Amino acid sequence: MNIITLVKYNDYNGNPTDTASDTSNDTMSDTDIIQEINDLRSQVTLLMTQVSTQQVTQPPKEAEKRHTGDTKQIKEKNNKETTTNVVAKKDAAKAATLSRKDSFYQLLVPYVGQYPKEMIRAFFDYWSELNKSGTRMRYELEKTWELPRRLATWASREKIPSKTDLGVVLKDNSPEKYKKGW
């Protein structure tokens, strides 16, 4: 004869008094889950409708052919457009640089009476030198810039040409003076 012992029978099946409340709790949980599933289904339907509507209202982009001879033509076309844009930008930058160079020259004009004309020209030639790309001048690359101070420093460092034909001899250094003693 075999004996079967049921362990925790009431935990799995519940007491006869708890069965009604357990069933209602389980039903409530199931109802919440079903409601969430229904909400998700409606959201998926809405998204699918939006995607299909966008495809109809917006024409698809022209697909570029790949791995054929046409790709070379497309690349060359893009390259030509890019090259013309770059050339136009460089021309505009050079024109802007030339106008800034002219305005720099005009800033130096009032100092011509205060400093020699040759010195002002040398100053302008040095500080208006363009960088490698031709977009900025040397003075624009400086961290700080005050034109009057730069001109004063330039003037103090300017070499004064020696005038040999003019002058006063303060001492007699003639060779006859030295021949007497020897």
What is the pTM assigned to this prediction?
A: 0.44
Per-residue pLDDT band at 67 (split at 50, 70, 90): low
What pLDDT, in 10s, does the model give residues 13-27?
A: 666 565 555 555 666
What is the Cβ-side half-sphere exposure of residue 165, based on CA atoms within 13 angstroms? 0
Task: Answer whether residue 48 shows pLDDT above 70.
Answer: yes
- pLDDT at residue 61, as a whole number: 60
For 128-163, give one letter per residue: b (16+ CB within 10 A) or e: beeeeeeeebebeeeeeeeeeeebeebeeeeeeeee
What pLDDT, in 10s, does the model give residues 100-145?
A: 999 999 999 999 889 999 999 999 999 999 988 888 999 999 999 9
- pLDDT at residue 5, as a whole number: 75
